[in-house]
Amino acid sequence: MSTEPIRIARKRGGEVEVEGPVDEFAAKILDRAGFTFRPTLRGVWIRLHFDTGQERENQKATYAARMLSAAGYQVDLDPNLLPAAGHRAPVNWWPPRTGAAMTSQPAPNSTQRHRR
């Protein structure tokens, strides 16, 4: 992985674009988040669709930044892309996990007998 961050930003024309060192795994993450890849003369143009609306673009960009951060990439997310005004949670912030997982089956040593 490169030490240069992957930058996700809204450009002057209003489109959300990705710049920086994007390897194959990062490309799969961005594709999963809804980014499209278009070949150009200078390389590949990575962007979100134009017709999704600004709020949805912000959600997708933040989702991509969180997934990239979780995978170990350095990400520079434009603060204007955070989903809600005033929302300042860091890109790599995740809600705390709960201590127990939910299950639908009884414990293996349970004294309950199943009917036949």
Beta bridge partners of 40: 43
The pLDDT of residue 114 is above 90 = no
Query: How far lies 72's CA from each of 39, 53, 66, 78, 79, in Å?
Result: 26, 29, 10, 18, 20
Sketch out the chain's domains with CATH numbers.
6-81 (3.30.780)
pLDDT in tens, 100-113: 555 566 666 655 55
The pLDDT of residue 63 is above 70 = yes
The pLDDT of residue 74 is above 80 = yes
Helix (H, G, I), strand (E, B) or coil at 89: coil
pLDDT in tens, 9-44: 999 888 999 999 999 999 999 999 999 999 999 889
The pLDDT of residue 77 is above 50 = yes
Between CA 96 and CA 25 the distance in angstroms is 26
Read off the pLDDT of each residue in 53-80 and give the average, rounded to a whole number: 92
CB atoms within 10 A of CB 85: 6
Between CA 75 and CA 69 the distance in angstroms is 6
pTM score of the predicted model: 0.69
